[in-house]
Amino acid sequence: MATIIVPENVSIHEDAENLQKACKGWGTDEKAIINILGHRNAIQRKQIRQAYEELYQEDLIKRLESELSGDLEKAVYRWILDPVDRDAVLANVAIKKAETEFPVIIELSCIYSPEELLAVRRAYQGRYKRSLEEDVAAHTTGDLRKFLVGLVTTYRYDGPEINERLAKSEADILHEAIKDKIFNHEEVIRILTTRSKAQLKASFNRYRDEHGTSITKKLLKDESNVLQKALHAAIRCIDDPKKYYEKVLRNAIKRSGTDEDALTRVIVTRAEKDLKDLKELYHERNSVALDDAVSKEIAGDYKKFLLTLLGKED
């Protein structure tokens, strides 16, 4: 479930006018910007952008970029974009440092539905005049390139049907490859980049039943192998996206120095989807509310904005 709190009665034109007032003059009224945009859904935010441009012949996104700075500017920019454009931007930022930021590409490829991924690829082409796959290929090499290009170009079957015999045979293939540390095995990459999520989950379950441990635990042994880390992330995204995102949040908050990019990414992209579920899971696993954990790690208007998206009222 979503966490953002949207008022029953919203005036799009009033919102546009109040945002213009917040940006007018010597100082920027960050509180007003947060109070408006942090309580509007994607459709309303798009309508506000359109109304603002009609009223003031100015791009609201560019105006906010010039008025805000730092982590707040980055978070508001990602929030005000159409969700599919936001995903294209996140992908492009990640691609530029793909050797370390490949989890972002994997999230889009393995958590999103086939149609959602296709929409991101279209938005990416429209924004950057290049395909997502060609940019991924240009910024990666070797086995990681083969795997990530395979993920972003796939159009998985999205139905619930599974083949138990196939699940057993492919669980065996995955087990042998992991046992022998042949992570670049063609069959491993084929299985993970082409099978439906339902079929893959059946294979992961069969792996656990037959070998007494989850496939992800077996892949945790060597953190220095970049392909191994990518395979691990993909399997976690496919197997249980909520647990995956909870761990991203936990790592972002608990690491030495907060990972604001990861924290912003998860909160902004999930606030209208399942952030309430992620908050519950975070509390269950860490014995502290996500709101409180975020409050301790960041400060200022950036903190106010993320807490607003988390559904925490003053």
3-class DSSP assignment, residue 11: coil
Residue 123: both structure tokens together: 């938005």
Query: What are the start and end residues of each CATH 1.10.220.10 domain in the chain?
Result: 12-68, 83-153, 164-239, 242-309
Predicted confidence (pLDDT) per residue in 242-263, tens digit: 999 999 999 999 877 789 999 9
pLDDT tens digits for 87-123? 999 999 999 886 667 889 999 999 999 999 999 999 9
pLDDT confidence of residue 262: 94
Residue 98 is predicted with a pLDDT of 65
Rounded to an integer, what distance in angstroms lies between the CA atom of residue 161 and that of residue 14? 49
Instruction: Tell me if 280 is assigned to a ligand binding site.
Output: no
Ligand-binding site membership of 27 (annotated): yes
> Model confidence at 42, in pLDDT bands (50, 70, 90)?
very high
Q: Is the pLDDT of residue 200 over 80?
A: yes
User: Rounded CA gap, 18 and 14, in Å?
Assistant: 6
Residue 258: per-residue pLDDT: 84
Whether 221 has a pLDDT exceeding 90, the answer reads: no
pLDDT bucket at 218, cuts 50 / 70 / 90: confident
Q: Look at domain 83-153 and name its CATH class.
A: mainly alpha
The answer to whether domain 242-309 has CATH 1.10.220.10 is yes
Alpha-carbon separation of residue 245 from 37, 138, 254, 284 (angstroms): 24, 27, 14, 14
Chain segment 70-92, per-residue pLDDT in tens: 999 999 999 999 999 999 999 99
pLDDT of residue 287: 96
Please check the confidence at residue 25 and state whether its pLDDT lies above 80. no
CA atoms within 13 A on the CB side of 11: 6
Cβ–Cβ < 8 Å for 156, 197 = yes
Q: Which CATH number fits domain 12-68: 1.10.220.10, 3.40.50.10860, 1.20.120.350, 1.10.760.10?
A: 1.10.220.10
Confidence check: pLDDT of 213 > 70: yes
The whole-angstrom separation of Cα 108 and Cα 95 is 12
* Per-residue confidence (pLDDT) for residue 223, from 0 to 100: 65
Q: Is 25 annotated as a binding residue?
A: yes
Q: What are phi and psi of 36, to 5 degrees?
A: -80, -60
Report the 3 state secondary structure along 64-113: HHHHCCHHHHHHHHHHHCCHHHHHHHHHHHHHCCHHHHHHHHHHHHHHCC
How many percent of the chain have pLDDT more than 90? 89
> Is 253 annotated as a binding-site member?
yes
45 annotated ligand binder: no
Query: Tell me, which fold does domain 164-239 have in CATH?
Result: Annexin V; domain 1 (1.10.220)
Whole-angstrom distance, CA of residue 73 vs CA of residue 106: 25
Q: What is the pLDDT, as a whole number, of residue 311?
A: 96
Say what the pLDDT of residue 222 is.
Answer: 64
257 is an annotated ligand-binding site residue:
yes
In the predicted model, what is the mean pLDDT of the chain?
94
Q: What is the mean pLDDT of residues 190-201?
A: 98
Q: 166-193 pLDDT, tens per residue?
A: 999 999 999 999 999 899 999 999 999 9
Residue 96, pLDDT score: 87
What confidence score (pLDDT) does residue 56 get?
A: 96
- To the question of whether residue 285 is assigned a binding role by annotation, the answer is no
